[in-house]
Amino acid sequence: MGIKLKSKAKINLSIDVLGKMEDGYHNVEMVMQTIGLHDILTIEENLSGEITIKSDTSNIPCDERNIAYKAARLMKEFIGTDRGAHIYIQKRIPVGAGMAGGSSNAAAVLTGLNRIWKAGLSENDLMDMGVKLGADVPFCIKGGTMLAQGIGEKLTPIKKSCDFWVVVCKPNFSISTVEVYKNLDISEISERPDTNKVIEYIENGDIKSLAGSMVNVLEQVSEKRYSVISHIKEKMMHQKALGSIMTGSGPTVFGIFKNFDDAHKAEAKLKSLWDQTYLTKTEDEGVEVYEG
């Protein structure tokens, strides 16, 4: 028995860091948005009981370090099955980009195995299990538009009243999320998002005001080190983006557009400069099963 799933990327329409907790984690407030850019995961039952990972890219480890492997092992232990799985990852989401590529793969594995191993778990059960793998995993399972608080695992859905086009552009290097948080001095944050306003604009479908209110406090850490981040933002704005910020801890920058033609032109221009540029759209659900 097998299943094929879309494992979708996310962007952050805003990120605020409110403080550091005793355990070293940061207390955040982020507005998360699923986008159409996705990896394809094919999962087949492995009668030997083993979990195997294969991918069409050498950019990710294909062994127990892969978060998809960790997700499968967690599910296997949780339900106490002797079944196994072959997992094949077709990577399209840039790696180490701030788009939760790994977390969304974990989300797809939990969703897929729940079906093919007939575990009978609810979406909430899967989300509770997912947080053990990473703070973004529960969001990636459910998807859509959400306010994420705590370490990113406390989710409140936001009722978005219109979709928009998104151009994402990743320069040719990756950034470690851990490093960015390590270098963040909360007392030095100069500009914070007004998260309530961001939510209000999303609910009212006021894309222009939303675009103008997007702020990511992690940008100042990543931008200081890599000037190309500011450069991409400028290019996005020059190409008629309504607003442009960095997603996650970077280095990917995205721009939002109401108009498809503008988004399409921006994609072509940015792609001529940075190969990993994609045109996509906001989506209302996370992991999607499309075969099986």
Residues annotated as part of the active site: 10, 136
Smallest separation (angstroms) from ligand ATP to the CB of 181: 10
Q: Does 229 contact ligand ATP by CB under 6 A?
A: no
Under a CB-based contact definition with an 8 Å cutoff, are residues 174 and 248 in contact? no
Smallest separation (angstroms) from ligand ATP to the CB of 95: 4
| For residue 193, cis peptide bond before it (omega within 30 degrees of 0) | no
- Nearer of residues 7 and 239 to ligand ATP, judged by Cβ: 7
| Amino acid identity, position 76 | K
Q: Number of helices (H) and strands (E), helices first, in the chain? A: 10, 11
CA distance 123 to 37: 22
Instruction: Determine the residue with CB nearest ligand ATP.
Output: 102
Q: Which of residues 156-185 bind ligand ATP (CB under 6 A)?
A: 177
Contact region for ligand ATP (CB under 6 A) — 101-109, 120-128, 194-202, 272-280?
A: 101-109
For residue 236, say whether it is annotated as part of any ligand binding site.
no
Nearest to residue 66, comparing CAs of 139, 7, 20? 7
Q: Does 144 contact ligand ATP by CB under 6 A?
A: no
Q: Does 3 contact ligand ATP by CB under 6 A?
A: no
Smallest separation (angstroms) from ligand ATP to the CB of 291: 20
Task: Give just the sign of the alpha carbon dihedral 88, 93, 97, 100.
Answer: negative
Give the contacts of 51 (CB within 8 A, at least 6 positions apart).
Answer: 69, 72, 73, 76, 84, 85, 87
Per-position DSSP letters for 68-121, written without gaps between them: HHHHHHHHHHHHT---EEEEEEE--SPTTSSS-HHHHHHHHHHHHHHHHTT---
Q: Does 219 contact ligand ATP by CB under 6 A?
A: no
Among 5, 17, 87, 99, binds ligand ATP (CB under 6 A): 99
In the three-class reduction of DSSP (H, G, I as helix; E, B as strand; rest coil), residue 218 is classed as coil
Smallest separation (angstroms) from ligand ATP to the CB of 187: 24
Smallest separation (angstroms) from ligand ATP to the CB of 35: 12
Q: Does 255 contact ligand ATP by CB under 6 A?
A: no
For residue 104, say whether it is annotated as part of any ligand binding site.
yes
Among 112, 144, 193, 248, binds ligand ATP (CB under 6 A): 248
Binding residues for ATP: 94-104
| Chain residues that interact with ligand ATP, rule: CB under 6 A | 60-61, 65-68, 89, 95-103, 105, 136, 177, 248-249
Binding residues: 94-104
